[in-house]
A and B are shown apart, each in its own frame.
Chain A
Amino acid sequence: MTGSLVNYIYILSGALFVLSLKWMNSPATARRGVFAGELGMLLAIAGTLVGHHNNWEWILAAFFIGTAVGVPIAYIMPMTAVPQRTAMSHACGALAAALVGTAEFYQRQGAADTELGGIIMVALIVETLLGFLTFTGSLMAMGKLQEILPSRPITYRNQNLINATLFAIALGLGVRLILVPTDTILFPIFAGLALLFGVLLIIPIGGADMPTVIALLNSYAGLSACAMGFALNNPLLVIAGALDGSSGLILSIIMCKAMNRSFTNVLFGAFGQLQAAQGKVEQRAFRSASAEEAASVLEAASSVIIVPGYGLAVAQAQHKIRELYDSLTKRGIDVKFAIHPVAGRMPGHMNVLLAEADIPYDRLWEMDDINSEFAQCDVALVIGANDVTNPAARNNKSSPIYGMPILDVDKARTVMVIKRSMSPGFAGIDNDLYYMDRTLMLFGDAKAFVGEILKELPARVGA
Chain B
Amino acid sequence: MPTSLEIGLYVFMLATFVGLEVIRKVSPLLHTPLMSLTNAISAISVVGAILIISADSATTLSKVLGFIAITAAVTNIVSGFLITDRMLKMFKRRPEQEVKK
Interface, chain A (partner B; CB < 8 A): 17-18, 20-22, 24-27, 30-31, 33-34, 37-38, 40-41, 44-45, 48-49, 52-56, 58-59, 61-63, 65-67, 69-71, 73-75, 77, 79, 82, 85-86, 89-90, 92-93, 95-97, 99-100, 102-104, 106-107, 110, 119, 214-215, 218, 221-222, 224-226, 228-251, 254, 329, 339, 341, 346-349, 351-352, 355-356, 358, 360-364, 366
Contact = CB atoms under 8 A, between A and B. Distances in A.
Contacts of A55: 53-54, 58, 63
B75 A82 contact: no
Contacts, number: 364
Contacts of B84: 34, 37
A41 B73 contact: no
B90 A356 contact: yes
B65 to A, nearest CB: 4
Nearest to A56: B54
Contacts of B56: 54
A110 B58 CA distance: 11
B54 to A, nearest CB: 4
Specify the main secondary structure of chain A where it touches its partner: helix
Contacts of A214: 35
Nearest to A368: B28
Say which size band chain B's interface belongs to.
Answer: 35 or more
Contact of B75 (A66, A236, A244, A246): A66
Contacts of A363: 94
Contacts of B25: 22, 25
Contacts of A31: 85, 88-89
Given A24-B30, A70-B76, A236 B47 contact: yes
Given A44-B47, A74-B86, A218-B39, A250 B24 contact: yes
Given A21-B38, A70-B77, A100-B65, 5 more contacts: A55-B53, A92-B72, A92-B75, A347-B32, A363-B94
Nearest to B24: A250
B7 to A, nearest CB: 7
